[in-house]
A and B are shown apart, each in its own frame.
Chain A
């Protein structure tokens, strides 16, 4: 069953349409990759799913219509969005960033337990907990942003280009953590990525976007295994 689903999703910025009727299905517990070149609509798709841009069409979460809800309301349903770039709060310490992630959880014990659990995934956070997030390296900030999004116990986490500007070794670590979170915690993941090879290796299903439309979709193993598709759509 699909946990998150888009049907004929259109999105526009001012006068121009950016998405032209996207159909997307994210199965419960799966990892879905959104691939495509710059400007193909990956970021806008994530924003359309989370209420960050004006849309028409349907967005269903758990079979409930959520299109038109403001982004903070979508977040409260359990859809975490890690926006592109450094989604951290620079003047907050690492620990404060994490506790802000649990903003919607008012039960202190629960958010503390959550903190302990996440520190298991990102052990270095413990040493840096009293440091302002603005002083962390790019990779650390990206990981902190992911950890913070996981603090709210989301059912699905949407990641926008987590590899952007990071060293390959760091990207590898981040992807390993994502896989662990998906397997152990059952968190569903939607990841928009430029690094198609890495994303296909991680994801179960992939959607390739081209100027606001789904050009091709299917199991990521099929896409990765078909040289012709890979060359024409993903350029590698």
Chain B
């Protein structure tokens, strides 16, 4: 057990080191891509909380990406709010709207919740286009880029600076999530997923936790959307389509929807899988997403993260199976 914990610390340390030095060894556009990986990982982390841990499905998290992105754009452009304040505000706005959706979700389950959140994803672009004066309509809004602070001027590019900022945020959120899910809160969320009636019977209030899970995960999606908007330099309605929502869910399932590592892998998948398969055919990413989603649900429901764990810890697994059989 303690051996495993040491392993965990080592892998986190190696990963942190990798994040730190990577921009030195890869071209600038790669750092740019890795910023997106970090942002998507944060968004998918929200789905690990909501779907993986609490058992509520959302096919509409792209909408919260949009809310985060537009919040940053509007705050920066119209009110001149700086980055360090606008990202937390984006998280708050997105989180509050997420709580609202969470209240609606209390009345819905399974397929119905999937459909309702799907409808949210479908409605997002046209809603954004509708409020022209605030959102700039189909044109969208420009988002100022993030320049490195004084002493680092000329030392690193603004792409590299955003890369570091993103991964520091991601690291902090992964740490926070790991602690929260490992404690009382995480146990309550999992208990509700496993057996809501039983959870109630020992004093857990499912309404409160389920609503909170929606708000919490929406806040993460808002932060992710804010980072993506800054990295891209603009927001426009057609960024936040159903395709984005589905890509997030696919990334979560392929990566591993009930582990933190799965969220990280999911971020890599959402960023790089389309780039890889696009070369075959422009329509290939959607097809690959669809097929991969079905295959993973059937053969590897724990995603890549759980599969790797199963390979790394074969002895432990064998022991568990042995125990289970005896």
Taking Cβ atoms with an 8 Å cutoff, the residues of A that contact B are: 50, 52, 70-72, 75-76, 80-83, 87-92, 96, 99-104, 128, 130-132, 135, 145, 148-149, 151-152
User: Of B187, B197, B320, which one neighbours A96 at CB under 8 angstroms?
Assistant: B187
For the complex formed, measure the closest distance between the CB of A183 and the CB atoms of chain B, giving whole angstroms.
24
Chain B neighbourhood of A52, CB < 8 A: 200
- Answer whether A87 and B195 are a contact pair too, CB < 8 Å, given A72-B204, A82-B201, A96-B187: yes
User: Most chain-B Cβ atoms within 10 A of its Cβ — which of A70, A103, A148?
Assistant: A103
Chain B neighbourhood of A81, CB < 8 A: 201
8 Å CB contacts to A: which residues of B175-216?
Answer: 184, 187-188, 190-191, 193-195, 197-206
Taking Cβ atoms with an 8 Å cutoff, the residues of B that contact A are: 184, 187-188, 190-191, 193-195, 197-206, 320, 323-324
User: Of A87, A96, A102, A152, which one neighbours B198 at CB under 8 angstroms?
Assistant: A87
Main secondary structure, interface of B, reads: helix
Q: Which residue of chain B has its CB nearest to the CB of A85?
A: B197
Find out whether the CB atom of B201 lies under 8 angstroms from the CB atom of A92: no
Find out whether the CB atom of A90 lies under 8 angstroms from the CB atom of B194: yes
User: Of A90, A91, A100, which one neighbours B202 at CB under 8 angstroms?
Assistant: A100
For the complex formed, measure the closest distance between the CB of B145 and the CB atoms of chain A, giving whole angstroms.
44
Cα–Cα, bound, A122→B38 (Å): 48
Chain A neighbourhood of B187, CB < 8 A: 92, 96, 99-100, 103
Chain A neighbourhood of B190, CB < 8 A: 89, 91-92
Find out whether the CB atom of A149 lies under 8 angstroms from the CB atom of B201: yes
Cα–Cα, bound, A131→B204 (Å): 23
Cα–Cα, bound, A105→B116 (Å): 37
Chain B neighbourhood of A100, CB < 8 A: 187, 191, 199, 202
Sort A-B residue pairs by CB-CB distance and give the 9 closest, nearest first: A89-B194, A104-B203, A75-B203, A135-B324, A87-B198, A81-B201, A71-B200, A72-B205, A76-B203
Cα–Cα, bound, A75→B200 (Å): 8
Find out whether the CB atom of B202 lies under 8 angstroms from the CB atom of A148: yes
Chain A neighbourhood of B201, CB < 8 A: 50, 71, 75, 80-83, 87, 149
Q: Which residue of chain B has its CB nearest to the CB of A133?
A: B194
For the complex formed, measure the closest distance between the CB of B195 and the CB atoms of chain A, giving whole angstroms.
5
- Answer whether A103 and B324 are a contact pair too, CB < 8 Å, given A87-B195, A87-B197: no
Cα–Cα, bound, A45→B188 (Å): 27
For the complex formed, measure the closest distance between the CB of A103 and the CB atoms of chain B, giving whole angstroms.
5
Q: Which residue of chain B has its CB nearest to the CB of A158?
A: B201
Find out whether the CB atom of A101 lies under 8 angstroms from the CB atom of B202: yes
Find out whether the CB atom of A75 lies under 8 angstroms from the CB atom of B202: yes
Find out whether the CB atom of A89 lies under 8 angstroms from the CB atom of B200: no
Cα–Cα, bound, A149→B195 (Å): 14
- Answer whether A103 and B200 are a contact pair too, CB < 8 Å, given A72-B205, A89-B195, A92-B194: no
Besides A75-B203, A104-B202, A145-B198, 18 more A-B contacts (Cβ < 8 Å) are A50-B201, A70-B205, A75-B202, A81-B201, A82-B201, A87-B197, A91-B190, A91-B194, A92-B187, A99-B187, A100-B202, A102-B202, A128-B323, A130-B323, A131-B323, A135-B324, A149-B202, A152-B202
For the complex formed, measure the closest distance between the CB of A47 and the CB atoms of chain B, giving whole angstroms.
10
Q: Which residue of chain B has its CB nearest to the CB of A81?
A: B201
Find out whether the CB atom of B198 lies under 8 angstroms from the CB atom of A89: yes
For the complex formed, measure the closest distance between the CB of A106 and the CB atoms of chain B, giving whole angstroms.
9
For the complex formed, measure the closest distance between the CB of B98 and the CB atoms of chain A, giving whole angstroms.
23
For the complex formed, measure the closest distance between the CB of B37 and the CB atoms of chain A, giving whole angstroms.
29
Chain B neighbourhood of A70, CB < 8 A: 205
Cα–Cα, bound, A115→B23 (Å): 52
- Answer whether A103 and B194 are a contact pair too, CB < 8 Å, given A96-B187, A131-B323: no
User: Of B191, B205, B206, B320, which one neighbours A92 at CB under 8 angstroms?
Assistant: B191
For the complex formed, measure the closest distance between the CB of A230 and the CB atoms of chain B, giving whole angstroms.
32
User: Most chain-B Cβ atoms within 10 A of its Cβ — which of A82, A89, A92, A135?
Assistant: A89
